[in-house]
A and B are shown apart, each in its own frame.
Chain A
Amino acid sequence: MEQKIEPQELQLTKQDFESDQMVKWCPGCGDHAILKSVENVFPVVGQKMGYKKEDFVVVSGIGCSSRFPYYMNTYGIHGIHGRAAALAMGIKLTNPKLSVWMISGDGDSMAIGGNHFIHIARRNPDINYLMFNNKIYGLTKGQYSPTTPKGQKTKTSPQGTFETPFNPGELAIGARGKFFARVIDTNPKLMQKVFLEAALHHGASIVEILQNCVIYNNKIHALITGRDTKDDNQLILEAGEPMLFGKDKSKGIILEGTHLKAVTIGENGITKEDILVHDPTTEDTGIHMMLASMAPPELPAALGVIRSVKAETLEDAIWNSVEHEKEVSPYKNVDDLLNSGNTWEID
């Protein structure tokens, strides 16, 4: 608890956001690393964007991941399952000056909250949406989720699942989302970089975090994160840079016909000039959608900011309308309204 007003010029530090509550995730859970990265990035966000520590609000749904707000010293609400997007929206629309962060899991966002996920993407309020994708229901102890790979055996799919999973990036972009990024819990540097970009992006920034649940879905992202396999299976995107990956960046992505293809520079006459250059800012969703869809073993998984397109935010549109209406409305107060239209006097 604060005891006194602190001078504003005092720099924010990681400690400002650490809570005194015991963190109860399993040892080895990917969530710990994500928490650290967020704690590290908030002071930077505050500094760059002029937010004070009381301006940060962290909300969540229900799940292991959604315990997050309790582990940070900010304003926070641990909500109900699947509905954090609505919480975040209500806060942001009411007070656009707050920095609103939303934490959710793959079950929370893609199953029970699927409806809210697509609508927040299209409405574009300026919130930062961190979705922890461990491809399993952690808190309820290991049932499959809408992102669990088809055929995987879980407690509720002892014969393997029969369902085609969602790809959150495709869903976000398909719902006309303006910002989508993907990171992994094993790369704190990339997380912090991308979280900062998400914060700086004025609009709904959806970040999928590939997170490992050591207990119920261990190594689910192993192909992408494994020491031996990761170089060939992850493509870290940089705006304006060619899409290179692999050891020594010897591989790249080209557009062949209407498809993305992985190639090796120097083979079959391919040169560095043939490699696609990443542009996250194009309104057109074509390449972004294809990048979001890429998955090992055929293609590397795309990490970093896949799409970041400028657009008006919901709260700006609403509050501009409020300002406009204040000017043009014939009603300056509620008494004016009550006395408007057909009224008559009895004396």
Chain B
Amino acid sequence: MTTKKDKIVEIEEAVIRFAGDSGDGMQLTGNLFSDSTAFAGNDFATFPDYPSEIRAPQGTVSGVSGFQIHFGHKNIHTTGDLADVLVAMNPASLKANLKWVKKDAIIIVNSDEFTEKNLVKAGFENNPLEDNSLTGHLLIRGPLSTLTKEAVKELDLDNKSALKSKNMFALGIIYYLFNRDYTKTFPFFETKFKKNPLVVEANKKVLEAGYNYAETLEAFTNTYRIEKASLNKGRYRNVTGNLATAWGLLAASERSGRKIYLGSYPITPATDILQELSKHKQFACVTQQAEDEIAGVVSTIGGSFAGAMAVTTTSGPGLSLKSEAIGLAVMTELPMVIVDVQRGGPSTGLPTKSEQSDLMQALYGRNGEAPCIVMAATSAADAFYSAYEAAKLAMEHMTPVILLTDGSIGNGSEVFKIPKVADLPEINPPIAKANDPEYQAYKRDPKTLARQWAVAGTPGLRHRLGGLEKEDITGNVSQEPLNHQKMTDLRQAKVDKVADFIPPLEVEGDSKSDLLVVGWGGTHGVLLTAVEEMRAEGKSVSMVHFKHIMPLPKNVHEVFSGFKKIIVCENNMGQFANYLRMTHPEFKYEQYNKVQGLPFMVSELKTKFDTLLNE
């Protein structure tokens, strides 16, 4: 590597947004930068932003694919509001992303792509590189395509193949800007393109050329370095929420000694979990891509009856299809985990965008009084622990558990401290013993109110389950009025009792202050960042974040009582706020809601909280 001549400036954190046409390889570029950020010892969080069409019309705004990374020296809880650096591989990606960059951001564009034709496709009237509309930004206009071709001209590559690696040229520039060692990325090329040494060579050359170009350019007066983050000692990796969900389930399977049965149907943004689990047959993880969501969930009920740790994974429309079967699982009191990676709705809605609008469906979207445990993962890394806990609660309490994650958790990634499976809490399902003369299908453990799990095939425990109401204790079919009342009460009481087995709500900040910020699920990071910043400014704000929703932790009333105002923030129109109004009507709830397929911004939250504090 050449020695630096530009000045190195130490900074706390930065946000970079890579944007290009869907075919430009921006996700890969972003992921490689993430890996290098990990090597540099920073904390980080990433989020991909891509169109739902596989190949949206080339060069148009709807075809733009983006990847944002927020990295820093302190703990990073969000993927960042606005970018410090934007890489725009064509006019459309500049057009689509200008609103997401800071006023003084560095913007790196591939000037080769700013042709008359492409400008029109992107909807620019004038060439933004020439009409001074980007004043205030540090604009780097590099002919990246030309330079890429130049870099590989000694290799025997056709024009199209040569141009394929122009994203690596952009990455090289960014590596220079953030003082990264580009050779650390070489092993990746060597593995990925093992079969094609020419492509390995091309990518190496282009990455290096990008780096050197940035150095000789003399356009950057500064380069940047971010100190290692102060993470706890241990081994770390990067995980997306979907990967973490899959691995949390695998860990629960290993710890409980129950093989996994997964019945699922592909749906964005949940498919990754099905795909990941399908890879791991070696852990006796049986995955079945069913003919539809109904078959998926119903087959898991079968799996559960036969003793498997049963799982189905889906997103909103799929959860709708599974409703009736979840009711059967409630009635038969068989354990299963239903993961809903929420996306924008209703109907097909915004398949690749995130939302929290399935909460009421998860809580109440079934016929009859059909309670089950509802939980929500709070971040990509937390998805591991949430999935693990969902499986533990399902099996120990003999009930379906709906675990809500969302598109931003599922596809977003963050740094994850690798745990040891042996250090995770034990999982002890109430398996009925063979030939137990005391066994009765609906007899319950007074501590949990869970019935026993008599796995099909066990000698001496033959019994029938089904959707018809069951008689208390014996499990025989019963339509008797008082029995139905009793069983309805018992099913609810069993779920309520789970509150004895979950941690209490913890306040971030003071337990008494002017404003309590309330969130649940995937908004944890952004709410925490806003609250931490305001507290640093001396404001009287605290926060609580819910991971357990049905049942709620036991201390909600006690915690809420310490605050003058409560605001519930969620990416829906107020579903959790309304749920709190039902469960804790003694408090008044303000709301902050956003359903734009976009995460909250720290800045907008702070503005809202300030207004409430000043009222």
Give the interface of A toward B (CB within 8 A): 1-5, 19, 21, 52-55, 57, 59, 62, 69-70, 73-80, 83, 85-95, 97-98, 115-116, 119, 318, 321-322, 324-326, 328-329, 331-335, 337-339, 341-347
What chain B residues lie within 8 Å of A94 (beta carbons)? 259, 261, 286, 302-303, 306-308
Q: Interface of chain A, helix or strand or loop or mixed?
A: mixed
Q: Mark B437-480, 1 if CB is under 8 A from A, else 0.
A: 10110000000000000001111111111111000000011000
Task: State how many angstroms separate the Cβ of A317 from the closest Cβ of chain B.
Answer: 11
Task: State how many angstroms separate the Cβ of A45 from the closest Cβ of chain B.
Answer: 15
What chain A residues lie within 8 Å of B463 (beta carbons)? 75-76
Tell me whether A2 and B456 are in contact (CB under 8 A). Answer: no
Report how far A80 CA is from B330 CA in the complex, Å. Answer: 13
Tell me whether B232 and A119 are in contact (CB under 8 A). Answer: no
B112 within 8 A of A: no
Tally of contacts, chain A with chain B, CB under 8 A: 219
A77 with B301, Cβ < 8 A, contacts A5-B435, A52-B459, A115-B291 known? yes
Task: State how many angstroms separate the Cβ of B463 from the closest Cβ of chain A.
Answer: 7
What chain A residues lie within 8 Å of B235 (beta carbons)? 339, 343-346
What chain B residues lie within 8 Å of A1 (beta carbons)? 437, 439-440
Report how far A19 CA is from B284 CA in the complex, Å. Answer: 35
What chain A residues lie within 8 Å of B434 (beta carbons)? 5
Tell me whether A119 and B435 are in contact (CB under 8 A). Answer: no
What chain A residues lie within 8 Å of B263 (beta carbons)? 86, 90
Report how far A248 CA is from B247 CA in the complex, Å. Answer: 68
| A-B complex: 7 closest residue pairs judged by Cβ atoms | A90-B302, A78-B466, A90-B299, A329-B282, A2-B460, A86-B298, A94-B306
Tell me whether A77 and B459 are in contact (CB under 8 A). Answer: no
A59's nearest neighbour on chain B, judged by CB, is B302
Tell me whether B466 and A342 are in contact (CB under 8 A). Answer: no
Those of B214-229 within 8 Å (CB) of chain A: 228
A55's nearest neighbour on chain B, judged by CB, is B457
Report how far A79 CA is from B298 CA in the complex, Å. Answer: 9
Report how far A69 CA is from B305 CA in the complex, Å. Answer: 14
Tell me whether B233 and A347 are in contact (CB under 8 A). Answer: yes
Report how far A52 CA is from B434 CA in the complex, Å. Answer: 14
Report how far A338 CA is from B440 CA in the complex, Å. Answer: 40
Task: State how many angstroms separate the Cβ of A303 from the closest Cβ of chain B.
Answer: 30
13 further contact pairs, Cβ within 8 A, besides A75-B464, A97-B457, A338-B421? A19-B464, A79-B298, A79-B328, A80-B298, A80-B324, A87-B302, A90-B301, A90-B304, A334-B283, A337-B247, A343-B418, A344-B41, A344-B235
Those of B20-58 within 8 Å (CB) of chain A: 35, 38-39, 41
What chain A residues lie within 8 Å of B405 (beta carbons)? none
What chain A residues lie within 8 Å of B233 (beta carbons)? 346-347
Those of B282-301 within 8 Å (CB) of chain A: 282-284, 286, 288, 290-292, 294-296, 298-301
Report how far A55 CA is from B462 CA in the complex, Å. Answer: 9
Tell me whether B295 and A119 are in contact (CB under 8 A). Answer: yes
Tell me whether A337 and B280 are in contact (CB under 8 A). Answer: yes
B254 within 8 A of A: yes
B162 within 8 A of A: no
Tell me whether B459 and A54 are in contact (CB under 8 A). Answer: yes
Tell me whether B457 and A95 are in contact (CB under 8 A). Answer: yes
Q: Identify which of A54, A70, A321, A343 gathers the most chain B CB atoms within 10 Å of its CB.
A: A54
Report how far A267 CA is from B374 CA in the complex, Å. Answer: 74
Tell me whether B465 and A83 are in contact (CB under 8 A). Answer: no
What chain B residues lie within 8 Å of A4 (beta carbons)? 435, 437, 460
A88's nearest neighbour on chain B, judged by CB, is B302
Q: Mark B228-257, 1 if CB is under 8 A from A, else 0.
A: 100111111110000000010011001000
Tell me whether B325 and A83 are in contact (CB under 8 A). Answer: yes
Tell me whether A335 and B421 are in contact (CB under 8 A). Answer: yes
A79 with B299, Cβ < 8 A, contacts A74-B462, A337-B280, A346-B232 known? no
Tell me whether A326 and B294 are in contact (CB under 8 A). Answer: no
B145 within 8 A of A: no
Tell me whether B308 and A83 are in contact (CB under 8 A). Answer: no
Report how far A322 CA is from B285 CA in the complex, Å. Answer: 8
Task: State how many angstroms separate the Cβ of B452 from the closest Cβ of chain A.
Answer: 13
Report how far A322 CA is from B299 CA in the complex, Å. Answer: 19
What chain B residues lie within 8 Å of A335 (beta carbons)? 420-421
A318 with B466, Cβ < 8 A, contacts A90-B298, A116-B291 known? no
What chain A residues lie within 8 Å of B535 (beta carbons)? none
B39's nearest neighbour on chain A, judged by CB, is A344
A-B contact pairs, 15 of them (CB 8 A): A3-B437, A21-B477, A57-B306, A76-B463, A86-B290, A86-B295, A87-B302, A90-B263, A93-B288, A94-B307, A95-B307, A119-B291, A322-B286, A325-B280, A334-B254
A95 with B456, Cβ < 8 A, contacts A4-B437, A343-B235 known? yes
Task: State how many angstroms separate the Cβ of B438 from the closest Cβ of chain A.
Answer: 9
What chain A residues lie within 8 Å of B421 (beta carbons)? 333-335, 338
Tell me whether A93 and B237 are in contact (CB under 8 A). Answer: no
B419 within 8 A of A: yes
A90 with B418, Cβ < 8 A, contacts A76-B465, A344-B237 known? no
A80 with B231, Cβ < 8 A, contacts A52-B459, A69-B466, A88-B302 known? no
A326 with B282, Cβ < 8 A, contacts A77-B302, A90-B299, A93-B288 known? yes
A90 with B437, Cβ < 8 A, contacts A79-B467, A322-B281, A343-B418 known? no
What chain A residues lie within 8 Å of B523 (beta carbons)? none
Q: Identify which of B301, B310, B437, B467 gathers the most chain A CB atoms within 10 Å of its CB.
A: B301
Task: State how many angstroms separate the Cβ of A113 from the closest Cβ of chain B.
Answer: 9
B332 within 8 A of A: yes
